[in-house]
Amino acid sequence: MSGAESTRLSKNAGAVQFLYKYGTLITILLLIVFFGTMTDNFLNYSNIINILRSSSIVTIIAIGLTVSLAVGGFDLSVGSTASIANALVISLFVWHGQSIGVGLLVTVLFCLVVGLVNAFLVINFKIQDMLMTLATMFVFQGIALTYTRGASISENMILPSGDFATGAIPDAFGSLGKEPWIIIIMLVIVLLVHIFLTYTKHGRYMYMIGGNAEAAKLSGIAVSKYRLTAYLISAVLAGIGGIILGARVEMAEVNAGSPYLMDAVAAAFIGYSVLGAGKPNALGTLVGAILINILSNGLVMMSVPYYAMDIVKGSVLALALAITYIRSRR
């Protein structure tokens, strides 16, 4: 190989590395410039806040998925878990007249049970995580539908008995779904999970398990314990996402969390390439969620039909997966 060819290959490799590390951030900047030029109100302060607010729920759910990916898992039930949490917390207020403390506590505890179920099935039956959580996704989705009887839950709704619901959603709960609290909650969760995965030995152990579970086990790491912890965190964060969704719309819609699954998966995998991380990470997931919501927001402002949105999101996910796996094989 001549010196010129070697130099050219080296430059190409450097260009690929640069795009891998900064491609997502460059894409966000290009989208901001494009939508800012093509629409009148994209760069308005209110619209920027709207993008961050829309990113919050996706980010929180996706961060839970990110933790499961860190141990080599793949929790596909996060959308259904969010649906259950959304239905449960609103029903505790509207149907049972509970306080905000009771509503939040009961909902989080139930989500922990969901995480225990996922972890028990995945760890003990040794079935691939994605396949097992695909099954539990449908189970939890069915539980949510059965619990709500396939109907939305809102204040003053008509109960099956024919009476009106007398409970009310606390004002303090509703404020959780409004800025700045919804954005603050998102950023706090991202920061805490980033610190946990990056700067604690437990986070490093999770990455070791995700890289090579057998080697981690031979090194004395309690693999099953950390996989259990990952699924508990995933379920709780999915539940928090469902709670925040309920606070934002102040009602529980049928399977409200399910549409967030695709966005959460896309955000988590896009995050692999942010700053060249090459692994699941909280900051990358946040960037991925913001990218997806910039796309969605900009396309809506350009009057692109809603039924075309999934084409764009699917294409972005395919590109993110291609970059991640091509890079991992280099």
Give the pLDDT of residue 156. 87
CB 69 within 8 A of CB 280: yes
- For the CA atoms of 138, 140, 144, 149, the dihedral, rounded to the nearest 10 degrees, stands at 50
- Write the DSSP assignment of 125-162 as a string of letters: H---HHHHHHHHHHHHHHHHHHHHTTS-B-TTPBPTTS
Write the DSSP symbol of residue 77: T
Give the pLDDT of residue 4. 59
- Write the DSSP assignment of 205-249 as a string of letters: HHHHHHH-HHHHHHTT--HHHHHHHHHHHHHHHHHHHHHHHHHHH
Q: Which two tokens stand for residue 63?
A: 């961060």
Walk along the chain (330 residues) and give the pLDDT tens digit of each residue.
555 555 665 565 666 677 667 778 888 888 899 999 998 889 999 999 999 999 999 999 999 999 999 999 999 999 999 999 999 999 999 998 899 999 999 999 999 999 999 999 999 988 889 999 999 999 999 999 999 988 899 998 988 777 888 889 999 999 999 989 999 999 999 999 999 999 999 999 999 999 999 999 999 999 999 999 999 999 999 999 999 999 999 999 888 999 899 899 989 988 887 876 678 999 999 999 999 999 889 988 988 887 777 787 777 767 766 766 665 555
For residue 3, how many other CB atoms are within 10 A of its CB? Answer: 7
State whether CATH 1.10.3470 applies to domain 3-328. Answer: yes
Give the pLDDT of residue 328. 52
Give the pLDDT of residue 309. 77
Q: Domain locations in the chain?
A: 3-328
Give the pLDDT of residue 60. 97
Q: Which two tokens stand for residue 152?
A: 């939305």
Give the pLDDT of residue 317. 67
Give the pLDDT of residue 12. 59
Give the pLDDT of residue 108. 97
CB 104 within 8 A of CB 242: no
Cα–Cα distance, 171 to 329 (Å, whole number): 52
